[in-house]
Structures are given as C-alpha cells and as structure tokens.
Structure 1
Amino acid sequence: MPAKFLAYPVFAALIGFTIGGCQEQTRETGAPEEEEQNDSERKTDEWSYDGETGPGQWGELDDAYAACADGKEQSPVNIESAQVEENEGSGDLEINYQSSSFSLANNGHSIQANAVDLENHLVIDEEEYELAQFHFHQPSEHLVNSQRYEMELHLVHETENGDAAVLGIMIEEGEENSTLSYLWDQLPLEETEEDVTIEEPVDLQALLPEDQTNFQYEGSLTTPPCTEEVKWMVFEEPIEMSEEQIQEFKEIYHKNHRPEQPLEGREIIKN
C-alpha cells in the first residue's frame, strides 16, 4: 500500500551482481559505514512472501518493520462468525465510487492500479478517506470461518492526515469479471519501472458485491512496514472472476499473501 501503502509499499527490484561487486570492493577498501548502509538498503528492498525474507522474517529485515513481528493489531485475520458482534451504531460506512481512470503497475509483489484522480472516497463515521490504489492477493489473505478464497482485492484509502482504511473483497471462481476484463488485458507480466496507462476507466461501483454487508475491525497493512491503526472492512459476499482470469494472475503472482495473524482480543463488527 505507495508511500504509506507500499500494499502495499516500496517495491524495488532485487539487488543484482553489479551491486554485489560494489559491496565486495567496499570490504576490500575498508569502508564499513558504506557497507552497513548498503546492507540496510538491501534488507528493506528484499522482503518477499517466502524463504529467508518471507512473512516470518519481516520484522527482522529492518527496524521500520518492527510492527510485523511485535504489533498486536496485525492483519489479515480469520473472521469467525461466532466471534462477530452486530453493529450497534458505530462504524457507519458510506461508499462513493464512480467510473474512474487508473494507471497499472507490477510493483514486484502484486498488480496494483493507482488512482489518477481523487474522485472516489469512503466516509467512515463522518471522516473522508480518498482511494489511493487497489491491488490483488492470491489466494485471499483474510479467511471467513477458516475458508480461504481464490483471491482477494484490496482497495486502499487514506485521509489527508495519512490515516488508512481498506476495503477487502473476496474473489471466487465463477463468471468472467467484465468490470476488470480490460484491465486484465493490460496486466504487466514483469515488474514495471513506470506505470502503464489504462485508457478505459474502471467502474468501481460495478466491482463491489451486491450485498455490501461487511466485517469491520482495527488492523494493519498486510505488507511491510505492517503499520497499524488501519480500518478494515471485509465484505461478506465475494465477487467472481473466471478460471482463466484467476490463472492469468497466478502466472504472474502465486501465493502473494501474508498468513493470518492472531486476533489478540480485537472486536469484529458486522455492519
């Protein structure tokens, strides 16, 4: 999640042979401060979804990622019906979406559509959150009654003060998603240095499920730096994508999801 949502966040290419050679030269010439700085940059850039830089090690890769290991309000979570409380007048959500333009990026961790303008926003308890970007995970990050879906869509919003709110939409296999079909035709297969211009707007309202019942809780970004105090609203009803659309995404990113995190006594409100 860019800037704060580096969703979502800074997605740099892996450091290659040239930089490795520079580090070797630094060691030979005895410049430890520069070497330490290069090590720090390498750690920041190289978080991933598996191996030595996978989710279990995120908190150790950089001091800025400490919340990934130490936070008490981390996302995603398993939403169990037995633990859900009914809305009692808080967490009112108003969605104001329309057909809008986006640019498309392969940021090294997901496919992300970045808002070209600020036409779309949420209102939560009278506070406005502007849509910054949306991106995808495969399979879903959140679980509902321990069920994991084929994919999950995250629409990431922020206030003028940088507070974050995310709409989570589960995706199951079914009919072709016509709202995303044009965007899907433009999917960048490799990591991009510059965004791809998408000429046809995306009808965000048509992207939402018909039943907008949702589960709300206080959580975090699901990628480093795992920043907390993020408002989450996960729709109960999934949307559909075709087997072909899901497979096209999996050929680019497969298993780009963070494992579920402990609920730590947090409330989940059904709204």
Structure 2
Amino acid sequence: MKVTAPILPFIASATASCLHGTSLLPRSADGLVEINSFNYTNTGGPLTWYGLSEKNFACSKGKHQSPIDIVTEDIDYAAANSIRFNVPSADNAKFENLGSGLAFHFHTPEYRINEEYYPMDVHFVFENSDKAFAVVGLVFELPYFSNSTPLFDSVFAHIDDIATPGTYTKTDHLDFTALVAHLNSHGIYRYTGSLTTPPCSEKVAWFLSTEPLPLNVQS
C-alpha cells in the first residue's frame, strides 16, 4: 500500500503537555478554536467515548482496537520500499490544541513494543476517497545526548503558546525531509487496527517505524 499526503492540519494533543521547559519565553496564543467533546480524563475519557455519540460504537464493542503491544517476533513487516510517505515542506502551519486531535497529532504514552511503553507517539492519519484510513506512526525516545529531528524542534518551540485547550498559534518553517529519510531507512511494522480517537473506526492500516525518533527535552 502506498501512502501519499498533502500538508495536513497540525493538531496538538492535550496529553503533550508533559513536553515543557523549552528555552523560549511563553507567548500568547494567536486565537481560539473549538475543542473536541472527548479527551483523556474524567467524563470525557476513553471509558466514556462510546457514549458521546452513537457513531462511537467501536470504542466499546470493537474487536480490533489500537493501540496494541507490538511483539516483534509476531508482527508483520511492510515490504521494503512499499510505503511512500511524502509530505512537502511548509512555511508554517496552524498549531492547535483541541484537547485531542485527528490528522497529525501526539499521544503520550500509547504504543508498546515488546511490553515497553515509549514516552510519546506521533501519528499521521490519511483518508482516501473511499473513506479508508491509513496511519503512519513513530514512537519517541528521550536520550540524554542526542538532537531532535529539526521538524519537531520547530513544533515544540511553540508548545507553551497553546498550553490552554481551545487555543492556536503558528509554527515556524516545517521541513519533513529528515522524517521521510528516517522512515525510508528503517523497517516498518504493519497491522490492521483502529483509530485511537473517536469514533475508533476499525479496518485502519497501521504502519509504524521500527526505530524510535530521538527527542531532546532538555531546557
């Protein structure tokens, strides 16, 4: 399966609030956006998603829900060069805190590999004309001595600007070159699961890089 995407809206999950302490002084958000009805706590949390809408039936009754614990000896792998991940650079993007999100967003924690949780994932969600979904995902690790992918430095430099759900700001230039190179130079796990946010739709093709991305969160 080949996946190609145009620039997608950039959405910050409220759960990314653990990524704080950048060296930049906080700035005011540029404006307001409407937040989603679901979140990850209390009455809006995952145990109640099925009750927020009848469209969320799979959140409670689904049989192939994501995320899963990826067991490397059992999982399928995508064939070499079978995934084409193409996201062009952008001068900037709207960076929104919707309390949750769909398109290009973060979760912490979510996927496990051989029962080990990683501190955060990034998911790129694609939908074709037949309403079929595919997700390209990567997990992050937090090494003491390693530089982040420049793309995510550009993004997280603005995380304090939108600490409050319902706000947005603009990112700096976004260059996906290093991210594309990372995906093209490592193996990719493949399985069929679901969206990890409502409506939790199943039959979603998942592609996850076998190699974590480094993320430097030192101030």
- Relative to the length of structure 1, the TM-score reads 0.59
Per the alignment, do residues 79 and 55 of structure 1 end up closer, same or farther by CA in structure 2, a change over 3 Å counting? same
Say whether 1:59 aligns with 2:46: no
Per the alignment, do residues 138 and 217 of structure 1 end up closer, same or farther by CA in structure 2, a change over 3 Å counting? same
Q: Give, in whole Å, the separation in 1 of the partners of 2:186 and 2:80.
A: 16
Cα deviation for residue 180 of structure 1 reads 1.8
User: Which of 188, 206, 213 in structure 1 is aligned with 2:178?
Assistant: 206
Q: Give, in whole Å, the separation in 1 of the partners of 2:80 and 2:202.
A: 20
Per the alignment, do residues 91 and 216 of structure 1 end up closer, same or farther by CA in structure 2, a change over 3 Å counting? farther
- For the residue of structure 1 that corresponds to 2:191, the secondary structure is strand
Say whether 1:136 aligns with 2:110: no
> Which residue number corresponds to residue 92 of structure 1?
82
Q: Which letter maps to 2:169?
A: V
User: Which of 165, 170, 190 in structure 2 is aligned with 1:197?
Assistant: 170
Q: Which letter maps to 2:55?
A: A
Q: Give, in whole Å, the separation in 2 of the partners of 1:227 and 1:244.
A: 37
Q: 1:158–1:164: 8 Å Cα contact kept in structure 2? A: yes
Say whether 1:50 aligns with 2:20: no
Per the alignment, do residues 61 and 86 of structure 1 end up closer, same or farther by CA in structure 2, a change over 3 Å counting? closer
Q: 1:7–1:222: 8 Å Cα contact kept in structure 2? A: no
Query: Per-residue displacement from partner, 1:171-219 (whole Å, max 9, x unpaired)?
Result: 00022423222222222111235x4233x33111312436331111111
CA RMSD of aligned residues (A): 2.8
Query: Per-residue displacement from partner, 1:231-267 (whole Å, max 9, x unpaired)?
Result: 110111000111337xxxxxxxxxxxxxxxxxxxxxx
Query: Per-residue displacement from partner, 1:22-53 (whole Å, max 9, x unpaired)?
Result: xxxxxxxxxxxxxxxxxxxxxxx543213343
Q: Which letter maps to 1:202?
A: L
| Percent identity of paired positions between Structure 1 and Structure 2 | 28
Which protein, 1 or 2, shows the higher relative CO under an 8 Å CA cutoff with sep ≥ 6? Answer: 2
Q: Which letter maps to 2:130?
A: N
User: Which of 150, 157, 165 in structure 2 is aligned with 1:185?
Assistant: 157
Q: Give, in whole Å, the separation in 1 of the partners of 2:44 and 2:104.
A: 24
- For the residue of structure 2 that corresponds to 1:74, the secondary structure is coil
Q: 2:77–2:189: 8 Å Cα contact kept in structure 1? A: no
Where does structure 2 lack aligned partners over 5 or more consecutive residues? 1-10, 14-32
Q: 2:76–2:191: 8 Å Cα contact kept in structure 1? A: no
Query: Per-residue displacement from partner, 1:58-115 (whole Å, max 9, x unpaired)?
Result: 223321111101111211111112322455x6993122233224221111126x7xxx
Where does structure 1 lack aligned partners over 5 or more consecutive residues? 1-5, 14-44, 113-132, 246-271
Matched positions, count: 182
Higher-helix-fraction structure = 1
Larger mean Cα displacement after TM superposition, 68-77 or 49-58: 49-58
Q: Which has the larger radius of gyration?
A: 1
Q: Give, in whole Å, the separation in 2 of the partners of 1:86 and 1:182.
A: 31
- Relative to the length of structure 2, the TM-score reads 0.72
> Which residue number corresponds to residue 172 of structure 1?
141
Q: 2:75–2:190: 8 Å Cα contact kept in structure 1? A: no
Q: Which letter maps to 1:242?
A: N
Cα deviation for residue 12 of structure 1 reads 4.6
User: Which of 137, 146, 154 in structure 1 is aligned with 2:123?
Assistant: 154
Cα deviation for residue 7 of structure 1 reads 9.6
Q: Which letter maps to 1:179?
A: L
Cα deviation for residue 143 of structure 1 reads 0.9
- For the residue of structure 2 that corresponds to 1:73, the secondary structure is coil
